[in-house]
Chain A
Amino acid sequence: MAMTEQEILAGLGKIVNEITGVPAAEVTPEKSFVDDLDIDSLSMVEIAVAAQDEFGVEIPDDQLKHLKTVKDVINFIQA
């Protein structure tokens, strides 16, 4: 059963908040992790690992570098 965009967004917001302290409400689809949320490459790895546990989708490092926005990650998990 595929998750909806809203469900993934809620899960991502929680993960991002736990790892970086950025409020979950700020994690919206159009935001760029680096430019808008000020999240660095190592935190992105931690987010990818937590997302794998949460959503069961592996995000390898060579894919991770192409995922710039929250929407990019949602799309990747849904694909």
Chain B
Amino acid sequence: MRISQGAPGAKVLAFGGYQPAEIVTNDALSKRIDTSDDWIRTRVGIQERRIAGPNESEIDLAVQAGGKALAASGLSSADIDLVIVATCTLEAQIPNAAGRVAHRLGIQAPGAFDVNAACAGFCYALAAASDAIRAGSATNVLVVGSEKLSQWVDWDDRATAVIFADGAGAAVVGPSDTPGIGPVAWGSAGDKADVVAIQDRRSFLYQEGQSVFRWATTALHPVAALACERAGVDPAELAAFVPHQANLRIVESIARKLGADNAVVARDIVLAGNTSAASIPLALSRMIERGEVPSGGLALLLGFGAGLTYASQVIEIP
């Protein structure tokens, strides 16, 4: 028996992001539930979020973001041989999202699987893509984070309705002679599985806000620091820090504790809300589009969420 030979490294060739058209402002939410623009801005940091329409599925969102990333990468659909979709909000679990997304993008017969690591999903999927390229299991990989959280949120529950939103982000990952995706630092805390959960198929998403906040502001900066250490990168060398956009106060707390003093810190939650597995590629694609981060600079990604799960890696910005 032989084993496959992979590329020396892997790198992100391009990102793409997509948000649905309908904007929901804080004022619109305060007409329905007991909240206010000021309350949401100070506790969570969100100004507005986007919600997909009834005929727009998480597959549609993924196709939009994936198509943009593919176009920006310079590759064609024929070059992609693996598609990974990170999502935790599928309307139905069978079939998976990856096969349908690949088909809609004209990608012929790729390997196709979904990853459920909730808000950490994109970083898990990116690590799997990088490893597949380095092991020789794939040549070019389309990685998508796509979520339609609106279909799992109780719009009368002010603890969650003000936070979650819909969106998608994608990356095309290809082979590289030099390292473009650093080693992943990942893990989980299954003892805290109950703090973010959908109890059964008739239930809405539930979150114990204070417990999640405590965990996120105390347990995660060491994970981010470990990802830097494994990549041999000093946090001060980072050009960008792109943590999952859960809550602006969590983002700022982790950034402060990490000491990424020269990094542009993603604050995409302000305009996107919390889009779970989509938030990191959505944020980074917008930062690249706006020219806020330098091509070739180093970005630290940090995903964390239900499970509880977490994953972090340093990447080179395409």
Contacts and interface: CB of A to CB of B under 8 A. Distances in A.
A49 B210 contact: no
A49 B42 CA distance: 20
Contacts of A40: 42-43
A26 interface: no
Interface residues of B, number: 12
B210 A41 contact: yes
B217 A49 contact: yes
Interface in A10-40: 40
B217 A61 contact: no
B217 A46 contact: yes
Contacts of A61: 208, 210-211, 214
A42 B44 CA distance: 10
Interface string A32-66: 00000000111011101100000000000100100
Nearest to A49: B218
B239 to A, nearest CB: 28
B42 A45 contact: no
Nearest to A53: B218
B210 A42 contact: yes
B210 A45 contact: yes
Residue of B211, B213, B249 with highest tally of chain A CB at under 10 A: B213
The range of chain A's interface size is 10 to 19
A9 B214 CA distance: 23
A24 B253 CA distance: 21
A41 B213 CA distance: 10
B211 A42 contact: no
A64 B43 contact: no
A45 B213 contact: yes
Interface string B226-240: 000000000000000
Residue of A45, A49, A64 with highest tally of chain B CB at under 10 A: A45
Contacts of B218: 49
A51 B213 CA distance: 16
Contacts of B42: 40
A49 B257 CA distance: 14
B158 to A, nearest CB: 13
A29 to B, nearest CB: 24
Contacts of A44: 210
A19 to B, nearest CB: 10
A40 B36 CA distance: 14
A64 B209 CA distance: 13
Residue of B210, B218, B253 with highest tally of chain A CB at under 10 A: B210
B211 to A, nearest CB: 5
A42 B210 CA distance: 6
Interface in B201-251: 208-211, 213-214, 217-218, 249
Interface in B31-60: 42-43
Contacts of A64: 210
A31 to B, nearest CB: 20
Contacts of B217: 45-46, 49
A45 B195 CA distance: 15
A40 B42 CA distance: 9
Given A49-B214, A49-B217, 6 more contacts: A40-B43, A42-B209, A45-B213, A45-B214, A45-B217, A49-B218
11 contacts: A40-B43, A41-B210, A42-B210, A42-B213, A45-B210, A48-B214, A49-B214, A49-B217, A49-B218, A61-B210, A61-B214
